[in-house]
Structure 1
Amino acid sequence: MNPLEIAEYYFKLSNDSNFEEITRLFCESATFRSGKGELFLGVTDIMSMQRQHHGMFTQLQWKVSSVTEIKPGIIHFTFDFAGKTHEGERVEYSGLEDVVIYQGKIQHVQVRRL
């Protein structure tokens, strides 16, 4: 897969909460800056955060509005998120996400909520 396909596949897997396959996409030393500004180092830390985030919802979905490879290996997404918490509350926000692919693996993800 090329970098754009890897990044798009990452979003698909996220919508499916497929943590096993998501883990395979990241390099061991990957970094992740969340939409709340938190920084995570290493695939183990990143996947722990993702499991916790997904676990807050009974339903969740990221809908990609646009995707562009702004430089080789740097994929820029705009997205809308919608989720339903265990308490039945709806959570919605929009954001920007940059996914950096290097040597076929996700090296860095940066999310910014709008």
Structure 2
Amino acid sequence: MMSSLEVAEYYFKLSNESNFDEITKLFCESSTFRSGKGDLFLGVNDIMSVQRLHHGMFSKLEWEVCSVTETKPGIVHFNFNFSGETHAGEKVEYSGLEDVVVYGGKIQHVQIQRL
């Protein structure tokens, strides 16, 4: 089984690939996700719907990890920069913080804060 840090880093890698099939396997029915806009989602199906919607807004996107630390066992903190290009050619960039809580090899919670 992967460590919490490995699961969280793998999640970022898969997100950069928009690999929804593999991302889905990292969540469970009790997983929760709070977006950078403050919206809260419960369960893998709800979480994947919002992720597909977000990714679908862009022709290109990338999360660059600036730093990553496991602040407590199972709690992984990322500092990241996001850059994307919408289908209309508009550039979107922002920085943020993301906490990923992993338990039993599954992501239990993700919380994003835009800076």
Give the root-mean-square deviation of aligned CA atoms.
Answer: 0.4
Structure 2 CA distance for aligned equivalents of residues 67 and 55 of structure 1 = 26
Q: Where does residue 50 of structure 1 map in the other structure?
A: 51
Counterpart code for 1:66: S
Could you tell me the TM-score, scaled by structure 1's length?
Answer: 0.99
Residues 28-55 of structure 1, C-alpha deviations (whole Å, 9 max, x = no match) = 2100000000000100000000000000
Structure 1 CA distance for aligned equivalents of residues 90 and 29 of structure 2 = 35
Structure 2 CA distance for aligned equivalents of residues 62 and 17 of structure 1 = 11
Q: Where does residue 62 of structure 1 map in the other structure?
A: 63
Could you tell me the TM-score, scaled by structure 2's length?
Answer: 0.98
Structure 1 CA distance for aligned equivalents of residues 59 and 90 of structure 2 = 10
Which structure 2 segments of 5+ residues have no match? Answer: none
Q: Where does residue 97 of structure 1 map in the other structure?
A: 98
Structure 2 CA distance for aligned equivalents of residues 2 and 102 of structure 1 = 10
Structure 1 CA distance for aligned equivalents of residues 35 and 9 of structure 2 = 18
**Displacement, 1:83?**
0.2
Which structure 1 segments of 5+ residues have no match? Answer: none
Given the alignment of the two structures, is residue 9 of structure 1 paired with residue 10 of structure 2, yes or no? yes
**Displacement, 1:27?**
1.7
Q: Where does residue 21 of structure 2 map in the other structure?
A: 20
- Structure-to-structure mapping, 1:80-91, within 5 angstroms: 80-91=81-92
